[in-house]
Amino acid sequence: MTARERALVALALLGAIGWGVLAPRAAAPSPLWPLKGVAVAALALLAAGRRRDVAGAALLATALVAHAAGDLLLARAPFLAGVAAFAVGHLLLVALFWRHRIWWDDVTGGPKLRLGLLALAGALLLFLLRRGLAGPLTIAVPLYALALLAMAGMAQVARRGQPWVALGAFAFVLSDALLALGLFRHLAAGDALVWPLYAAAQLAITLGWLYGSVTPSPSAETTD
């Protein structure tokens, strides 16, 4: 890791910690809202800088830009605009993980079990949320959940950065699940974990992909 890359990782950590510590203490709407996008934007720059050295780094950077935009839009714009930006980011990650996936014949029991757990968790979450949704959210939230679960599912069979990419995707799902339960079912018990889980997810996925190992997949039709 070069000095520039270490500086960007440090900036991402400072942005994540800064928002997590300062935002709850600020008045609403928080005047610190630009800080919310710093952590993920720094990771996007990190990925962009590795685009010539790491397969898929440019696509990862684009997905991170969409997520950083989602962070800022959720802070200042209509809710659905932020949701749409995050959904775009998830679909870009789906494309990334699909292109660099383990062929199904080579997928072991662990990833298959995690895929089953994701499917069950998604179905349970949508069941719990159904009464709290109204208007456009009755369509937007399930569609977003499908994009999120598709991203997390493909992360389990991605060839790069395991187990960090898979764990990061699980943390992303848990963060969004807690956020949704707080917003739509007023179950705020997990609110304090939403941002730490989200920041950890972005770090794990990004650093795992950029600096992690590649899982051999003899049956794969696509290669790095």
Rounded to the nearest 5 degrees, what angle is found at the Cα of 137, between the Cα atoms of 134 and 138?
70
Q: What is the pTM of this model?
A: 0.90
**Between 97 and 224, residue with greater pLDDT:** 97
pLDDT tens digits for range 80-110: 999 999 999 999 999 999 999 998 888 888 8
**Residue 160: strand, helix, or coil:** strand
d(CA 158, CA 152): 10
Both structure tokens of 220: 């794969």
Rounded to the nearest 5 degrees, what angle is found at the Cα of 189, between the Cα atoms of 137 and 77?
40
Across 113-147, b (16+ Cβ under 10 Å) vs e yields ebbeebeebbeebbeebeebbeeebeebbeebbeb
Whether residue 63 contacts residue 92, with contact meaning beta carbons closer than 8 Å, is answered with: yes
User: In the predicted model, is pLDDT for residue 43 greater than 90?
Assistant: yes
Place of tokens 């949508």: 126
Would you say the C-alpha torsion 41, 47, 50, 52 has a positive or negative sign?
negative
pLDDT for the residue numbered 223: 45
pLDDT for the residue numbered 134: 85
The mean pLDDT value for 139-160 works out to: 95
pLDDT tens digits for range 159-209: 999 999 999 999 999 999 999 999 888 887 778 899 999 999 999 999 999
Place of tokens 């990925």: 47
Count Cβ atoms within 10 A of the Cβ of residue 2 and give its class: 0-12 exposed, 13-18 middle, 19 or more buried.
exposed
pLDDT for the residue numbered 28: 58
pLDDT for the residue numbered 29: 59
Q: Residue 99: phi, psi to the nearest 5?
A: -65, -35
Both structure tokens of 188: 């705020």
Across 10-26, b (16+ Cβ under 10 Å) vs e yields ebbeebbeebbeebeee
User: In the predicted model, is pLDDT for residue 74 greater than 60?
Assistant: yes
Which helix or strand (DSSP H or E) is residue 136 part of? none
pLDDT for the residue numbered 220: 46
Residue type, 54: V
pLDDT for the residue numbered 143: 95
